[in-house]
Structure 1
Amino acid sequence: MDVRAEFLNFFKQKGHTIVPSAPLVPDDATLLFVNAGMVPFKSIFTGEIPRPNPPRATSCQTCIRAGGKHNDLDNVGYTARHHTFFEMLGNFSFGDYFKEDAIANAWEFVTKVLKLPEEKLWVTVHDSDDEAETLWQRHVPLERIKRFGDKDNFWQMGDVGPCGPCSEIFIDQGAEHFHGPEDHMGGDGDRFLEIWNLVFMQYYRDEKGVLTPLPKPSIDTGMGLERVVAVCEGKQSNYDSTLFMPLINKVAELCGKPYHYEEGASYRVIADHIRSVAFLLAQGINFDKEGRGYVLRRITRRAIRHGYLLGIKEPFMYKLLDTLNDLMGEHYPYLIEKKEAISEQIRLEEERFLTTIASGLELFEKELSQTQKIFSGAVAFKLYDTFGFPLDLTQDMLREKDMEADVEKFDALMAEQKQRSKASWKGSGDKVAHGDFKILLERFGANEFTGYTQTQDHVSVVALLDDDFTEVQRLEKSGWVMFHQTPFYAQSGGQCGDSGEISGYGEVLDTKKFFDLNLSQVALQNPLEVGDKVDVVVDSSRKEIEKHHSATHLLHRALREILGEHVAQAGSSVEKDRLRFDFSHPKAMSEEEIAAVEARVNAMIFSGVDAKTEIMSVEDAKNSGAMALFGEKYGDEVRVVSFGDVSVELCGGTHVKNVANIGSFFIIKESGVSSGVRRIEAVCGKSAYEFATTLRNTVHKAEDELKNKDIFVGINRQKKEIVRLKQEIEALSANVGKSIEAQTIQGVDVIVERLDAGDIKAKIDDVKNQKDSVAIILFQVKNNKVMIASGVKNAPIKAGAWIKEIAPIVGGGGGGRDDFAQAGGKDPSQIDAAKKAALSYAKKILQEDA
């Protein structure tokens, strides 16, 4: 049975609109990821936007709980039900039906569709909810209805806001499987498993904790797909179901060891984590050092480490993608579409971590052997900072030993590092301003954007908001204006918002979209009042913005042609004087590739094809080959912008009428954004002319400075002069240090000196060639930094161990081979102390060997 499809179709027949799963990155500054099915509908429940029509919906929402307040990462693989990634089935009523229909629908679905045995189903209600208990008695005997308090059966969105009692449906999995002291209704055992939670959102809790009945109570339900599938298949663990066993079997195949549930935590961790990793990458999250990208990295590295425990010492997670796509690709086709890019990003991340995991595990085991109960926070930090072990990965390894890490010390060291590097946390979501938007939407609806065909208009001021987004009747100096229709483009899809003028009143500084409202930010010389009729003009910079926007479309096409079809847009910024385009690609572009892409874009511009815009359904647009961006919200009808047959994309922005209007196109810079994501910065139009002019002037200045019209001839002349000067310096340096003297200890010439000039590595090689048995360590200061090198020939001292012992004295670290090693330090004032320690160390080793 396809439980997902059965659920959605069941509620569709009950008048619900099927809403596709929203992106895992929410429109909510308080959340790292979508962690529940109701999150995409939060603004409706809180009243910030009007109710949809019809006011009921159903969805199968992808969710992640692996960071922040909602973090199940530690339990994944060790319990039967915890996951980082899961799908939440839900049906929602926005002030429409309430308890009676919600209960009846739930009972019908679990007994008639899922065909779960009625005699094994139990229900809980809030201890104050007589109504719910009475309604449930139509379906369930009273002895199988239990009342519980706020902890178990009361739900709230936050300390302030909508809330209400809830009712949960449980299934008895059988005393024959679970017979511990906690295996009773209300206990912590697994015998009675919750499968569905029905939230009756009927109150509003204010700042004082007072509950006030809502005028239109709502329904919010959540049923985890993974546990329901397991129940329907008669499994006591989600991981034993058909959603996970193909992945677990593939892991067993890759490691060459059969899976047994009792010792199978590592198999389960990997099977769970590949789902999170693939979905996050498919939705545009990339490996990073902070934010969501860091959570992605933590999950991936935890899975790699569990693969390591199974004996897999090479990249393997990317090999699970075919199995995952067989399981989920039909419902989430973007997994299949982006498989190659996802595979490459996972493989590269695995390679990165595998280069350090062995050394990290060696350090971990060494510290573990000296630990009684609390693992060193300093070592945990070194594992993180040097070997890429996230803290929770170290904690995961310690839990297997029944130990804990000194998190306080780890956090202190992390804070010090952040202060040193001036790193800043990017936050868990973009801050969204909230104001009187719902009122405006209900009163006026979305105001039409007319800027596709005109850049000036005579419009009415229908609403004014101050800087805090509170509605006012009169605006004196600054705030936001809503016109009944507007030619000003609101920032969206990478294109910046329009600026311009309100004739006789002031400037439009920017234009943004808030819940489908196009609002213009203004700076006024004369007050505006609601009802005023004004003339507005879009700034001429719009033409340059359009050139850069159209150029991004051509750039996207060129990148796919030159680099491959795996390239996908990962973000963009379009302004009047530049464009920035982020895209998925595993490595830096070569100079040849950059030149080829630039040439291809210019060739498209030279073709002079007209832009074509069509309005069609989303399905027709995709069937026509139009490219869509994941996470963008498209309506029933979409705008398709095409330039000949080379570029066809869904886009709501403004564009040139003909590609020739773009002018010249220059790539200014190619760089990395994060693992697997590259960035191109480019200019066109007026900015391209300015760039070319600046470049020409720079060349002329270089010709003057080099005193040669052929700057390459001049540069080569300068290179030869530099070589000559270097040779002179080397000749001088060769004479420095000739007075180096050796001490003979146990038949070995020991040299410990500071050289202020010359190449200390070359000097060591020279000394080793001259002597039969020598141990030499040299110090040098350059740019206020200490450089150290050591060499050993036919002596019992090991250069790597010697330098590792001495480098910390000058505030550094390093190592190397037994015969040669190098290190660096940052405290030149300690060189004398380091020299003294180096000589003592050499004497000790040589005497012990004797």
Structure 2
Amino acid sequence: MSIDIRNKFLKFFKSKGHQIYESMPLVPDDASLLFTNAGMVQFKDIFTGKIPTPEIKRATSAQLCIRAGGKHNDLENVGYTARHHTLFEMLGNFSFGDYFKKDAISYAWEFVTKELGFSENVLYVTVHQDDDEAFSLWSEHIDPSRIKKMGDADNFWQMGDTGPCGPCSEIFVDQGDEFFHSEEDYFGGDGDRFLEIWNLVFMQYERSADGKLHPLPKPSIDTGMGLERVQALLEGKRNNFDSSIFMPLIQEVSKITNKTYVYENGASFRVIADHARAVAFLLAQGVNFDKEGRGYVLRRILRRAVRHGYLLGLNEPFLYLIVEKVCDQMGGHYQYLSQKKQIISEQCKNEEARFFETIESGMEMFKKELESLPKNTPFSGEIAFKLYDTYGFPLDLTQDMLREKKIEIDIEKFESCMQEQKKRAKASWKGSGDEVKNGDFLELINEFGSNKFNGYEHFHFTSKVLALLDENYKRVKELKNNGYILFETTPLYPESGGAIGDTGELYKDGNKIADILDTKKYFGLNISEIHPFGIIKVNEMLDIYVSSDRYEISKHHSATHLLHASLRKILGSHISQAGSLVQSTRLRFDFSHPKPLNSEEIQSIEEEVNRLIFKSIQTKTELLPIQEARSKGAMALFGEKYGDIVRVISFDEDSCEFCGGIHVQNTANIGGFYITKESGVSSGVRRIEAVCGKAGYEWGKNAIKTLEIAKETLKTQDVHLGILKLKEQIKELKEKNSKSNFLIDLEPIDQVEGVNIIIKKIQSGNIKEIIDNTKNTNEKVAIFLLQQEEQKISVACGVKNAPLKAGEWVKEVANILGGQGGGRDDFASGGGKNIDKIQEALDFAQYFARKKIKEPA
């Protein structure tokens, strides 16, 4: 039924002249947002004026949103309230300088009453206290007694302290007084009886820096209706989780845990059902588990769900099964869920397994601290940090566990521990919007529009200088120091799709006048960074020469397409691109895959790419309507913005992708392809590094040279056989060395409480093996060994059946030597550099051991 509401909404507004827009990615192309959190995000540039003359006037969408991090974070409330979710769908209709209040109100009323079938007797409306126009327009549809005027806090919307803003109007549904009896359950109160379902924002003002409101020349409409909330109301449910959207997932949790779901104590069921949806969509859209940023938020969501599963008695991965249910449930409309179901499930299961390895120990520590905690005392910040650092418990997960006990954490101490830890990855994130926020770019795009790119056909072109900017991105009439140049038409390709931006040279009257250092896109403008040798002026005609590196970049770029196709063929259709870098000397390709590649797989992938290269496939470039391109099977990247007409690059039936980049004319131009490295990037993401073209030739030449050196060194033409013989010789030497370790004089220098104390400086031998051998031949022993190699000192110690901690012992001695050390209670190691302190260190080692062993237990 939830699909019916979504489709009804989109179909209704399409009939009113609105263009349907697909849900934009949850990771937005906006540096100010962690996740897409509202339906208007994909139209933000229109509302803010970055796109002054939009091609469309009316739009509608069903937008997936996440509120689980950054400014908009509902995570801690999920499962404990009736309507908080990490992931939800926002239905919206938008007008960009077209219709305004009258039609927006009329459309809303018609859809709510006619399409959804809500009785007029349960509907109420609020408007801004000064918006008499909206009050009058609503009065044409609903009795004025059901319209309430509210202040700025409730009925005035603004994007920020400055910018577009305006009054809003909200539609409420009366759920009746049967279950709602609080003092706040009146229309306009804070109770749940009157539930808001739709907010209509009348964007009619611009707020300036001085706080004043100025009428916009073209007022716009921005609305939002929560699908989950409407679904529950239409089904007569007082709680979103009781609706047909969530109950199948809750029932699946009940089945897995063999426990009956009861609302009053069912928070864990609800958390798991909710979080499974967010995990499924984030993984499907290319977000991967990580230590920071969006990947860390994803990890927090999963671990919160796993912890609630643990509370229900689950001790092994289970969330992946709920995630599979989400894919089945929502894969009809969001088809990529069905297509990626297997890999999503696998990634989820692997991450769960990693957390389950530590959750038992972490929960044990948590319980012990809780049991010993005096009343009205905050939970230890140090323990909270250790749960985070050692056992992988995010801070808000510990807070969530303490919330049930109404206990706070000593946050100051927690933060202090965070600061003390060296090289701790900061919980920061980097957005993906334009990297330059200031400057005169908007002024340029308003004046000139997007400049033309003709680099597909040209490596050299003569063009007019439209504008110049200094290093602070401010417009200037002439440039004699480093800055930026905007051409009317340019053959220079901007950094995009993983490929670096073009470099080159500028000439005037046959003389070189500047180096082109880089090319990027700023707000739709193709702009190059330059280093002038003289003065460059606006309106001059200059000769642009693209660097020959372009040829090698194009080879590596086309190779990434062939690599992508080969990965899907060899490893499976679950493979999707997770990032890339294309340079003139190498390529890097990140892709979703749950485990490392073995040597056979790497060899097969390399052979498949070379097969396609040697097939001499002519590159086919097409400009197609986006739906036609998709129906043709062209692959698109999540997070990329595409227009109505897209550029499609094909290599026969082997590879077909959306792409705006520079490519070779024929795969044979790529030359040989070599994989140089395969590694992991993050959980569920692998990376292949490779070379081709000129760089491939150099790599092969160096590989042959290295092989010849190996033959000469090993004195054999069969390098493999030579290495095997060498390994056998090393093995024999190790065995001989190990035996010699027993011959070292390790007589105790002292015995305390039956413990043999051995302190010795040795010249050679494997310290670890010597200590292990000594522990095996002594019932009670504390052994400390020191080795000096030139200016470097190594120390290690072992303890068996003695009241002495090796880690503490070696740390104290290493400190005397001007170094550091540490380890387990039974074995530890360290080092230093103060060779003049060696005897002092050995004496202290004996003193420390005697002292600790003699101390009463």
TM-score by length of 2: 0.90
Does the CA-based 8 Å contact 1:510-1:520 persist in structure 2?
yes
Return the offset for 1:830: 8.5
Q: Is 2:623 the counterpart of 1:631?
A: no
Return the offset for 1:541: 1.2
Does the CA-based 8 Å contact 2:748-2:759 persist in structure 1?
no
Does the CA-based 8 Å contact 2:292-2:425 persist in structure 1?
no
Written as runs of structure 1 = structure 2, the 5 A alignment for 1:134-533 is 134-372=136-374, 373-417=377-421, 419-420=422-423, 425-434=428-437, 435-504=439-508, 505-533=513-541
Does the CA-based 8 Å contact 2:771-2:797 persist in structure 1?
no
Write the distance in 1 (CA, Å) between the matches of 2:846 and 2:110: 83
| Structure 1 residues 597 and 167, CA gap change in structure 2 (3 angstroms) | same
Does the CA-based 8 Å contact 1:277-1:300 persist in structure 2?
yes
Q: Which amino acid aligns with 2:455?
A: G
Equivalent position of 1:655 in the other structure? 663
Q: Is 2:798 the counterpart of 1:789?
A: yes
Return the offset for 1:842: 5.7
Write the distance in 1 (CA, Å) between the matches of 2:807 and 2:538: 74
Does the CA-based 8 Å contact 1:49-1:515 persist in structure 2?
no
Return the offset for 1:725: 5.4
Q: Which amino acid aligns with 2:502?
A: D
Match of 1:91 among 75, 90, 93: 93
Q: Which amino acid aligns with 2:485?
A: V
Does the CA-based 8 Å contact 1:49-1:438 persist in structure 2?
no
Write the distance in 2 (CA, Å) between the matches of 1:833 and 1:252: 62
Does the CA-based 8 Å contact 2:807-2:829 persist in structure 1?
no
Return the offset for 1:831: 8.3
Return the offset for 1:521: 2.7
Does the CA-based 8 Å contact 2:746-2:760 persist in structure 1?
no
Return the offset for 1:751: 2.5
Does the CA-based 8 Å contact 1:764-1:776 persist in structure 2?
no
Equivalent position of 2:68 in the other structure? 66
Q: Which amino acid aligns with 1:257?
A: K
Write the distance in 2 (CA, Å) between the matches of 1:427 and 1:546: 28
> Which SS does the other structure have where 1:661 is aligned?
helix
Write the distance in 2 (CA, Å) between the matches of 1:363 and 1:812: 26
Return the offset for 1:165: 1.7
Write the distance in 2 (CA, Å) between the matches of 1:610 and 1:602: 15
**Bigger shift: 74-83 or 107-116?**
107-116
Does the CA-based 8 Å contact 1:812-1:823 persist in structure 2?
yes
In structure 2, the gaps of 5 or more residues are 814-819, 833-837
Does the CA-based 8 Å contact 2:752-2:853 persist in structure 1?
no
Match of 1:541 among 542, 549, 552: 549
Write the distance in 2 (CA, Å) between the matches of 1:831 and 1:87: 68
| Structure 1 residues 186 and 689, CA gap change in structure 2 (3 angstroms) | same
Q: Is 2:783 the counterpart of 1:778?
A: yes
Return the offset for 1:508: 2.7
Does the CA-based 8 Å contact 2:21-2:60 persist in structure 1?
yes
Q: Which amino acid aligns with 2:800?
A: G
Percentage identity across aligned positions? 56
> Which SS does the other structure have where 1:378 is aligned?
helix
In structure 1, the gaps of 5 or more residues are none
**Bigger shift: 29-38 or 523-532?**
523-532
Q: Is 2:742 the counterpart of 1:739?
A: no
Write the distance in 1 (CA, Å) between the matches of 2:502 and 2:465: 17
Match of 2:49 among 8, 29, 47: 47
**Bigger shift: 61-70 or 147-156?**
147-156
| Structure 1 residues 71 and 485, CA gap change in structure 2 (3 angstroms) | same
Q: Which amino acid aligns with 2:410?
A: D
Match of 2:129 among 127, 130, 151: 127
Return the offset for 1:222: 1.3
Q: Which amino acid aligns with 1:62?
A: L
Write the distance in 2 (CA, Å) between the matches of 1:371 and 1:830: 41
Return the offset for 1:294: 0.5
Equivalent position of 1:564 in the other structure? 572
Q: Which amino acid aligns with 1:776?
A: V
**Bigger shift: 57-66 or 829-838?**
829-838
Does the CA-based 8 Å contact 1:760-1:789 persist in structure 2?
no
Quote the RMSD (CA, aligned, Å): 2.9
Q: Which amino acid aligns with 1:202?
A: Q
| Structure 1 residues 475 and 237, CA gap change in structure 2 (3 angstroms) | same
**Bigger shift: 317-326 or 225-234?**
317-326
Return the offset for 1:645: 2.6
Return the offset for 1:570: 0.6
Write the distance in 2 (CA, Å) between the matches of 1:835 and 1:428: 56
Query: What CA deviation, in whole Å up to 9, does each residue of 1:718-758 have, x standing for no partner?
Result: 6566556545654553233431267474xxx4234345455
> Which SS does the other structure have where 1:269 is aligned?
helix
Does the CA-based 8 Å contact 2:187-2:194 persist in structure 1?
yes
| Structure 1 residues 188 and 563, CA gap change in structure 2 (3 angstroms) | same
Return the offset for 1:225: 1.2
Return the offset for 1:474: 4.1
Equivalent position of 2:110 in the other structure? 108
| Structure 1 residues 571 and 770, CA gap change in structure 2 (3 angstroms) | closer
| Structure 1 residues 517 and 754, CA gap change in structure 2 (3 angstroms) | same
Return the offset for 1:349: 0.2
Query: What CA deviation, in whole Å up to 9, does each residue of 1:297-324 have, x standing for no partner?
Result: 0000000000111111111111123321
Query: What CA deviation, in whole Å up to 9, does each residue of 1:636-674 have, x standing for no partner?
Result: 222222223322222221211111111111112211111
Write the distance in 2 (CA, Å) between the matches of 1:785 and 1:174: 77
Return the offset for 1:364: 0.3
Does the CA-based 8 Å contact 2:29-2:431 persist in structure 1?
no
Does the CA-based 8 Å contact 1:670-1:681 persist in structure 2?
yes
| Structure 1 residues 195 and 246, CA gap change in structure 2 (3 angstroms) | same
Written as runs of structure 1 = structure 2, the 5 A alignment for 1:756-771 is 756-757=761-762, 758=765, 766=773
Does the CA-based 8 Å contact 2:198-2:223 persist in structure 1?
yes
Q: Is 2:765 the counterpart of 1:753?
A: no
| Structure 1 residues 835 and 188, CA gap change in structure 2 (3 angstroms) | farther
> Which SS does the other structure have where 1:239 is aligned?
helix
Q: Is 2:622 the counterpart of 1:614?
A: yes
Write the distance in 2 (CA, Å) between the matches of 1:689 and 1:102: 64
TM-score by length of 1: 0.91
Query: What CA deviation, in whole Å up to 9, does each residue of 1:570-628 have, x standing for no partner?
Result: 11111111111001111222223222222222222222222222232323323323222
> Which SS does the other structure have where 1:389 is aligned?
coil
Write the distance in 1 (CA, Å) between the matches of 2:29 and 2:620: 32
Q: Is 2:3 the counterpart of 1:28?
A: no
Write the distance in 1 (CA, Å) between the matches of 2:57 and 2:583: 39
Q: Which amino acid aligns with 2:413?
A: K
> Which SS does the other structure have where 2:34 is aligned?
coil
Query: What CA deviation, in whole Å up to 9, does each residue of 1:68-102 have, x standing for no partner?
Result: 11111100000001011111111112222222222
Return the offset for 1:813: 6.6
Return the offset for 1:290: 0.5
Write the distance in 2 (CA, Å) between the matches of 1:431 and 1:443: 19
> Which SS does the other structure have where 1:669 is aligned?
strand
Counting matched residue pairs gives 830
Does the CA-based 8 Å contact 1:238-1:244 persist in structure 2?
yes
